[in-house]
A and B are shown apart, each in its own frame.
Chain A
């Protein structure tokens, strides 16, 4: 069985353990279980990062000879983006108050869902879309922003359900990175082709612009309106993830 599929399966399993331990720690009120969840998530992050490197590296000419020794299957299509997003969506620093230990499970939930979707794609016969044009800088940037956005989504779910002090930086980082990366791409497009969106498929165009506009609305909202901010963040992240995995 291909190495990447094994790694993604392991990562998905460890994330499920992390989610389960998180919920169990809340039911039992035992901090040691939430630390176990934290360790499982760290392990899953490491495994998924290696899986993402192998998956993306298999299509790069400079790394083909090296990656080919480990895994001969060259992957293409949405599964590449899903693996990278799952790896980036796992939070590495978690401070959960004792009154809401169970809520740490919500931090790992988006990453687990992304890893599960990647695993389903890998093991389903014929589901891997062989598109030779998937490995582009735009697709990689979208996957990075989608992964960080999924991490922000986990924090937002924790904020809404357990009323915990909000961690701003994942959302700010995603918003800033999205603005910088796609603003730069728009400048290059303006220079080369004379218009902002020439050469970009409509699905990508709609997803990126929609996510950025919704996130801008979230950034302009006052902090006290948590419910609305949470809804806007969820919509923005889902648009980004949808744009990252939509074939064109």
Chain B
């Protein structure tokens, strides 16, 4: 059993090395689906952000979760304004930000810079918001969001809306040898436990004139036959 278990584990390692894959550090927010390397594989967060949904055969593990927000900005006429997360990023009307550390984004059309600072690592924690004028850098507004990052601010005719969108850092794995490895480990543990607890007995027989002498751990079920000898 031990040898069979060991062989199964080795076979499973070969299968996973040849046909399996693993993606680390995937950041998921809201219910967005992220495609994975192989075929039609995907992974997404559940509606409440506490778990994951994924395609068959994929195992998704949440390694870390924390606060995040979805941000949009409207001008006085109700028109959506472009937002920039970094200087070379593509402008978007809505940003989804994982608050793993202090984060800045810009509203170029309104000449505003916004700084977001999470208060804790809990998924629905509050965040401190500071809004600066650009390019002078003068602070215009400093507020705290509601639980989860929910907030609406009006600054210089611009309405900034923050909606909670907690993030999760996910490990996605496809391992075709998973069940083989599990079976191999169980067989190996059972076989090894059995052979350690019930190790082989040794006994010696020596024929003397009219009898047979026995030494060692002679099994009791053989004793009747030994008397016949």
Contacts and interface: CB of A to CB of B under 8 A. Distances in A.
A56 interface: no
- The contact size tier of chain B is 20 to 34
Interface of B: 9, 13, 16, 20, 22, 58-59, 61, 63, 171, 173-175, 178, 181-182, 185-186, 188-189, 192-193, 196
A192 B61 contact: yes
Interface string A184-206: 10110011111110110000000
Nearest to B192: A179
Contact of B181 (A172, A179, A196): A196
A190 B192 contact: no
B181 A183 contact: no
Given A195-B22, A198-B22, A198-B171, A190 B189 contact: no
Given A175-B196, A193-B171, A195-B173, A187 B22 contact: no
B189 A193 contact: no
A210 to B, nearest CB: 15
A183 B189 contact: yes
A2 interface: no
Task: Provide the main secondary structure of the chain B interface.
Answer: helix
A176 interface: yes
Contacts of B181: 186, 190, 196
Contact of B59 (A186, A194, A196): A194
Interface of A: 172, 175-176, 179-180, 183-184, 186-187, 190-196, 198-199
B149 to A, nearest CB: 27
A232 B13 CA distance: 25
Given A190-B175, A198-B61, 17 more contacts: A175-B196, A176-B192, A176-B193, A179-B188, A179-B189, A180-B193, A183-B185, A184-B189, A186-B185, A190-B185, A191-B182, A192-B59, A194-B22, A194-B61, A199-B61, A199-B63, A199-B171
Contacts of B193: 176, 179-180
A187 B182 contact: yes
B190 to A, nearest CB: 10
Given A175-B196, A195-B16, A187 B185 contact: yes
Most chain-B CB neighbours within 10 Å: which of A172, A175, A184, A190?
A190
Contacts of A198: 22, 61, 171, 173
A183 B174 contact: no
A175 B197 CA distance: 12
28 contacts: A172-B196, A175-B192, A176-B193, A179-B188, A179-B189, A179-B192, A179-B193, A180-B189, A183-B188, A186-B181, A186-B185, A187-B182, A187-B185, A187-B186, A190-B175, A190-B178, A190-B181, A190-B185, A191-B182, A192-B61, A193-B171, A194-B173, A194-B175, A194-B178, A198-B22, A198-B171, A198-B173, A199-B61
